[in-house]
Structure 1
Amino acid sequence: MPVVREKDIEVLFSAEEIARRNLELAKEITAHEYKDLLVISILKGSFIFAADLIRAMHEMGSAPEVEFMFISSYGAGTTSGEVRVLRDIDNDVTGRDVLLVDDILESGKTLKFTRDLLLSRGAKSVSLAVLLDKTSRRQIELNADYVGFNCPDYFVVGYGMDVAHAFRELPYVGIVKGDAA
């Protein structure tokens, strides 16, 4: 079991498993033959997944434009129920296929809010790609179009996901054993 910042980390999905799954997802996405595709990474947690997925899509022959949105649904460390755009995209989405990329689909509130916002702005379609799908935490009816892994009901870190801004750099997804803070 790796030890990072004096914490034991149980590896849930290894770097090798994630790399293989990213290639499979890229094949699925490029097979869809989106037109004028805009990939939007939801910050902060998805930045590593989005970068690896976009590079894998490039290897499959896709050439999407890439944007970033900073969406917040967390207040004081817990889900507040209120979703806000902290940093918006620069591109016009009118008539475009959009792929939203996020680290984890839990309650569904953030991705539903963001998808609905982009559709209201005239996006032709908005598909969802998530590294992890934690269905046990779903509060609204929402499913991702592309899922890396189904995630058990654990608080996970690594591969862009954090606890108190720590552990984002890990090349795998893991569970902090004991007190994470």
Structure 2
Amino acid sequence: MTAPRRVRVLFDEATIARRNDELARDIAAAEPKDLLVVAVLKGSFMFAADLIRALHRVGLDPQVEFIHLSSYRARTSSSGQVTILRDVESDVKGRDVLLVDDILESGRTIVFAKDLLMARGARRVLTAVLLEKPGKRSVSIDADFVGFTCPDVFVVGYGMDIAHAYRQLPFVGVVDHLDSEPDLFGGT
């Protein structure tokens, strides 16, 4: 077991909670019909859970589904190849879908998921991301709803991890000295 690393808080718990309430109001203003929330696992699970509760508080009654996609595996940057590890079980045909992801960086994962759901007949696919790194896009996409613009640092917490650690943190943070410890990923 490696020694614990210090995590600097980037977005604290209260700030995230307030922003989730604002996002829920913005999503409700888009007047979604027959709403299905599809959370992209694993990183978005905390954001999705809190956002879904906030959607309930503003009067929406979405159904909830999950899709597990990966383009990172045990790396800190996207491989460029998106793989479906677990697919949505619900029929999306004719429905408004809110695709919820933790971070919009290269854009490949969310474009893949959005295209997949549209090809299956979704009426509209809206996207909500907790964080976006605008300078990191590999494909052309903008999220419909963005929690925060994030600096170009590797973030953990609030569902996001590094080598399966730090997901439990109630805030988004930056692990100090990440670049000097490549052994976290089994590499050199």
Same fold (TM over 0.5): yes
Runs of 4+ in structure 1 over 6 Å off: none
TM-score of the superposition, structure 2-length normalised? 0.91
Cα distance in 2, alignment partners of residues 72 and 176 from structure 1: 22
Structure 2: stretches of 5+ with no match in the other structure: none
For residues 66 and 6 of structure 1, the distance between their equivalents in structure 2, rounded to whole angstroms, comes to: 35
State the 1:76 CA deviation.
4.3
Which has the larger share of strand?
Answer: 1
Partner of 2:58: 60
Aligned to 1:44: 42
Determine whether 1:18 maps to 2:19.
no
Q: Secondary structure of the equivalent of 1:86?
A: strand
How many pairs were matched up? 177
2:141 partner SS: coil
SS in 2 for 1:11: strand
Match of 1:7 among 5, 8, 14: 5
Q: Distance in 2 between matches of 1:165 and 1:104?
A: 16
Q: CA RMSD in A?
A: 1.1
Bigger Cα displacement from structure 2, 150-159 vs 77-86: 77-86
Q: How does 1:87-106 map to 2 (within 5 A)?
A: 87-106=86-105
Q: d(CA) in 1 for partners of 2:13 and 2:74? A: 30
Structure 2 distance, partners of 1:112, 1:57, is: 23
Deviation at 1:88, TM superposition (A): 0.6
Alpha-carbon displacement from aligned partner over 1:12-53 (angstroms, at most 9, x marks no partner): 000000000000000000111111000000000000000000
Q: Which residue pairs with 2:163 in the alignment?
A: 164
C-alpha distance in 1 between matches for 2:74 and 2:33: 40
SS of corresponding position for 1:95 = coil
Structure-2 separation of matches of 1:154 and 1:92: 37
User: 19-28 vs 75-84, which deviates more?
Assistant: 75-84
TM-score, normalized by length of structure 1?
A: 0.95
User: Whole-Å Cα distance in 1 between the matches of residues 115 and 19 of structure 2?
Assistant: 27
Query: What percentage of aligned pairs have identical amino acids?
Result: 59
Which residue is equivalent to 2:147? 148
Partner secondary structure for residue 24 of structure 2:
helix
Question: What residue number does 2:114 align with?
Answer: 115
